[in-house]
Structure 1
Amino acid sequence: MKERARSFRRYQWGGWAVLAAAFFVVFVHRYHIAAVADNLAATPPKGLGLSGTALGNLASIYFYFYALMQIPSGILCDSIGARRTAFAGMAVAAIGAALTAFSGSLALISVSRALVGIGTAVIYVGVLRFLTLWFPTGRFATMTGCTSITGNFGAMTAATPLAMLVLYTGWRGSFIVLSVISLVVAVLVYLVVRDYPQDLGFPAVAEQAGQNGLALPELWSALKMIFRNRLTWLCFLIYLGASSATFSFNGLWGISYLMQVYQLPKGVASSYTLMVSLGIALGSLFWGWLSDQCKRKKPIVVGGVLVQGILWTLLITPAADGALLPRWLLPILLFLIGLSAIVFVLTFAAVKERNDVRYSGTAISVVNTGGFLGGALMNAAVGRMLDAGWQGKVVDGVRVFSQGAYHRAFLLFPVAIAMALICAIMLPGERACECGRGADLAKGHFGK
């Protein structure tokens, strides 16, 4: 019996570890463009000579296709399982990264980023589907937090370490390295991950989770049920508004902003954006743990979104004399922004609890669409506002934007967060319960 329990844990934790490694690579793909933005903006042959609008649109392509693939990702995970879905996704991402390395035009690199967005889109939903089937419900938020912290270590890798790799191998070489890593992880997913405990003779952890996939009539029924759930759309909008600022800042504009406005070297600027990722990593673990302990999500989400909005406003609002924040304060502020921003991770646990477990992957994917749609729209909007405020300054073939242009564009951040705050306040009330008593307490969650 003990040996069987140990065997179960090996497959349980081994499968999660490999999928979490895939999610780590997803974050490197996502933020890779930020590390090479100045290279892409440089005039040929060093770069592609992209304007702010073109850079914003290029970064948005990843998010658009990532968002577009979310509901299909959930359907795939619920139908053919997380294993085959994640394997195919990582393989497509590897192809996209390799194609990026050989791109010589905006059109080709756009196709490459679309492939990366399509491939990486399936991973997070696959991880959450795996957690639903292999881990008890009471540990879902904590394990979601552990997954997020692993992914955000990938975001940290995409900051200073990736910037150093770009300096060593060139921007094209860095994409080749990432392509090889993605292919290795794809193989590991196929070899290690199993969709259901029952596949290996273990009892089901989620008793209601069907093992036969979704037939088409059942799929349409599931989608209608999920779409009619008011909580689904509130969580969708919370994720969209609360994540778009960090996706845009860390995913594209942060390093350039710190280099051009605060006159920081690229290595230092990337280390500052790394602080956002560090805050997100620790916050994802903390908020998941706190939610599982207290069994209450609404007050945590409202508080986290509110704090994030205040912090962004502080960052982008200059003093009356136009003075910038002291440099020593920047990494602290950026860390706290990341710490508060990741509170949106609780929306996944909430929507999972309020929908049939058989359709958990599809329900989560609907909410996940919101965040990446927000990132795509924010990147494009910020790029257009920057180009509108550009005063014609060019250094080493790269457009340089003023402090005022950046701050006017970044005003979109608190606007999006305000929308998320309104939606968080509108969340249904929760059944009051005592904090810290563990699994013996009644499970309080949204809408019950």
Structure 2
Amino acid sequence: MKERARSFRRYQWGGWAVLAAAFFVVFVHRYHIAAVADNLAATPPKGLGLSGTALGNLASIYFYFYALMQIPSGILCDSIGARRTAFAGMAVAAIGAALTAFSGSLALISVSRALVGIGTAVIYVGVLRFLTLWFPTGRFATMTGCTSITGNFGAMTAATPLAMLVLYTGWRGSFIVLSVISLVVAVLVYLVVRDYPQDLGFPAVTEQAGQNGLALPELWSALKMIFRNRLTWLCFLIYLGASSATFSFNGLWGISYLMQVYQLPKGVASSYTLMVSLGIALGSLFWGWLSDQCKRKKPIVVGGVIVQGILWTLLITPAADGALLPRWLLPILLFLIGLSAIVFVLTFAAVKERNDVRYSGTAISVVNTGGFLGGALMNAAVGRMLDAGWQGKVVDGVRVFSQGAYHRAFLLFPVAIAMALICAIMLPGERACECGRGADLAKGHFGK
């Protein structure tokens, strides 16, 4: 009996560990472009000679396809299982990364990033599906928090360590390495992960293990019900506005900004953006804990969005001729930005509670689309504004944007956050006895 229990735990924890590793790789894929942005902007043959607009559009492609795949990801996991869905996703991401390494034009690298977005989009939903079927309900929130931290360690790896890899192997070589790693993880997913405990002769852990998900007619009814719920769209816009600045800065423009405006070496600049990811990782647990303690979500969301707006305003305050912030302040400020940005995760709990419980997963996937759509739109908009303010300066074949150009482009950040604040204020009130319910769900859901 004890041997059987140990065998179950091996499959339970082994399956989660492999899927968490896949989620780790997802974050490396997501932020890889930021580590090679200056390389892609360099003139051929060193790079592709991409302008700010082209870089912004390229980074946005990943977010567009990731967002478009959110609801289909849930349908795939419910129909063919997390194992085959995650295996296929990592394999597609590996192909996309390999194509990126051999891309010689904007068109081909755009197709490559689309493949990476499609492939990585299914992983987090697959993790949630696995946790639902292999872990007791009471441990679901804890395990999602652990999964989130694992993913954000991937974001940290995409900062300084990945920048060092780029310096050692070149930007094309770094994509080859990531492609190989993705393929290895895909194989591990197929070999280790199992969809149901019953597949191995173990009893079902939860009642959901015997369910096959929503039928197509019921799915259509669920979507109509969710779309008609005003709260769904408030949470969608909060996520879109409150995350777009962080997605854009950490996912593309942050390293270039710190290198070109503050004259920081690439390794130092990437370590500073790593502080944003660290703040996100810790904040994903902190805000859920705080919500549990005070039994309120709306005041926390409003307060967190306000703090984030103030911090971004402080960072971008230096205009064209303004004095820059002290360098020692930058990592502290960026850490606090990450910590405050993640407050929007509480909207997942809010939308879950205010929609039919049978459709809570679909409701969350709709809201989750907002964050990645916001990141895509922000990347493209910032790129266009940087190109509009470019003064023709080129160093080593790379366009160099002025302090004033970054200042004007980054003014979009507080504008988006102001929209999130308006929507947060419009959230309905909540009774103290209800508002703590589901807060655990909010732990660790940033940019899933």
- TM-score by length of structure 2 reads 0.91
SS in structure 1 of the partner of residue 433 of structure 2: coil
Q: Give the deviation of 1:415 after TM superposition.
A: 1.1
* Distance change (3 Å), C-alpha of 1:416 and 1:348: same
Q: Give the deviation of 1:89 after TM superposition.
A: 0.7
Moved more, 273-282 or 5-14: 5-14
Moved more, 410-419 or 144-153: 144-153
* Distance change (3 Å), C-alpha of 1:259 and 1:321: closer
Q: Is the 8 A contact 1:141 1:292 kept in 2?
A: no
* Distance change (3 Å), C-alpha of 1:24 and 1:439: closer
Q: Give the deviation of 1:425 after TM superposition.
A: 2.3
Structure 2 CA distance for aligned equivalents of residues 157 and 408 of structure 1:
30
Q: Give the deviation of 1:330 after TM superposition.
A: 0.1
Structure 1 CA distance for aligned equivalents of residues 21 and 318 of structure 2:
40
Structure 1 CA distance for aligned equivalents of residues 276 and 319 of structure 2:
23
Q: Give the deviation of 1:226 after TM superposition.
A: 2.5
- Deviations along 1:113-164, one digit per CA (max 9) or x if unpaired, are 0000110111122222333334444544443332221111111101110010
SS in structure 2 of the partner of residue 209 of structure 1: helix
SS in structure 2 of the partner of residue 434 of structure 1: helix
Q: Is the 8 A contact 2:372 2:447 kept in 1?
A: no
* Distance change (3 Å), C-alpha of 1:446 and 1:291: farther
SS in structure 1 of the partner of residue 48 of structure 2: coil
Q: Give the deviation of 1:31 after TM superposition.
A: 0.6
Moved more, 410-419 or 295-304: 295-304
* Distance change (3 Å), C-alpha of 1:381 and 1:147: same
- Deviations along 1:82-123, one digit per CA (max 9) or x if unpaired, are 222111111100000001000001100000000001101111
Q: Give the deviation of 1:215 after TM superposition.
A: 2.5
Q: Give the deviation of 1:378 after TM superposition.
A: 0.1
SS in structure 2 of the partner of residue 208 of structure 1: helix
- Deviations along 1:399-442, one digit per CA (max 9) or x if unpaired, are 11111110111011111111112222222322314999999999
* Distance change (3 Å), C-alpha of 1:444 and 1:253: closer
SS in structure 1 of the partner of residue 208 of structure 2: coil
SS in structure 2 of the partner of residue 407 of structure 1: helix
Q: Give the deviation of 1:8 after TM superposition.
A: 4.2
Match of 1:431 in 2: 431
Q: Is the 8 A contact 2:320 2:403 kept in 1?
A: no
SS in structure 2 of the partner of residue 146 of structure 1: helix
Structure 1 CA distance for aligned equivalents of residues 272 and 27 of structure 2:
17
Q: Give the deviation of 1:11 after TM superposition.
A: 3.4
- Which structure 2 residues correspond to residues 235-314 of structure 1 after superposition, within 5 A? 235-292=235-292, 294-314=294-314
Structure 2 CA distance for aligned equivalents of residues 163 and 446 of structure 1:
23
Q: Is the 8 A contact 1:430 1:446 kept in 2?
A: no
- Deviations along 1:245-304, one digit per CA (max 9) or x if unpaired, are 111001100000000000111111111111111111111122234445555433332222
* Distance change (3 Å), C-alpha of 1:440 and 1:410: closer
- Deviations along 1:323-345, one digit per CA (max 9) or x if unpaired, are 01100000000001011111222
Q: Is the 8 A contact 2:148 2:446 kept in 1?
A: no
Q: Is the 8 A contact 2:148 2:444 kept in 1?
A: no
- Deviations along 1:193-232, one digit per CA (max 9) or x if unpaired, are 2333444455545435652243221221222233233332
Q: Give the deviation of 1:186 after TM superposition.
A: 1.1
Q: Is the 8 A contact 1:67 1:372 kept in 2?
A: yes
Q: Give the deviation of 1:192 after TM superposition.
A: 2.4
Match of 1:179 in 2: 179
Match of 2:357 in 1: 357
Q: Give the deviation of 1:170 after TM superposition.
A: 0.6
Q: Give the deviation of 1:363 after TM superposition.
A: 2.6
* Distance change (3 Å), C-alpha of 1:316 and 1:446: closer
Q: Give the deviation of 1:354 after TM superposition.
A: 4.2
- Which structure 2 residues correspond to residues 2-151 of structure 1 after superposition, within 5 A? 5-151=5-151
Q: Is the 8 A contact 1:56 1:380 kept in 2?
A: yes
Q: Give the deviation of 1:3 after TM superposition.
A: 5.2
Report how many aligned residue pairs link the two structures.
Answer: 448
* Distance change (3 Å), C-alpha of 1:402 and 1:43: same
Structure 2 CA distance for aligned equivalents of residues 357 and 435 of structure 1:
15
Structure 2 CA distance for aligned equivalents of residues 84 and 46 of structure 1:
38
Q: Is the 8 A contact 2:288 2:440 kept in 1?
A: no
- Deviations along 1:15-53, one digit per CA (max 9) or x if unpaired, are 222221111101100110010001000000000000000
Q: Give the deviation of 1:348 after TM superposition.
A: 2.9
Identity %: 100
Structure 1 CA distance for aligned equivalents of residues 256 and 447 of structure 2:
43
Structure 2 CA distance for aligned equivalents of residues 136 and 231 of structure 1:
29
* Distance change (3 Å), C-alpha of 1:229 and 1:2: farther
* Distance change (3 Å), C-alpha of 1:325 and 1:155: same
Structure 2 CA distance for aligned equivalents of residues 373 and 392 of structure 1:
31
* Distance change (3 Å), C-alpha of 1:246 and 1:347: same
* Distance change (3 Å), C-alpha of 1:441 and 1:311: closer
* Distance change (3 Å), C-alpha of 1:443 and 1:373: closer
* Distance change (3 Å), C-alpha of 1:43 and 1:179: same
* Distance change (3 Å), C-alpha of 1:2 and 1:305: farther
Structure 1 CA distance for aligned equivalents of residues 42 and 446 of structure 2:
49
SS in structure 2 of the partner of residue 194 of structure 1: coil
Structure 1 CA distance for aligned equivalents of residues 171 and 442 of structure 2:
53
* Distance change (3 Å), C-alpha of 1:169 and 1:70: same
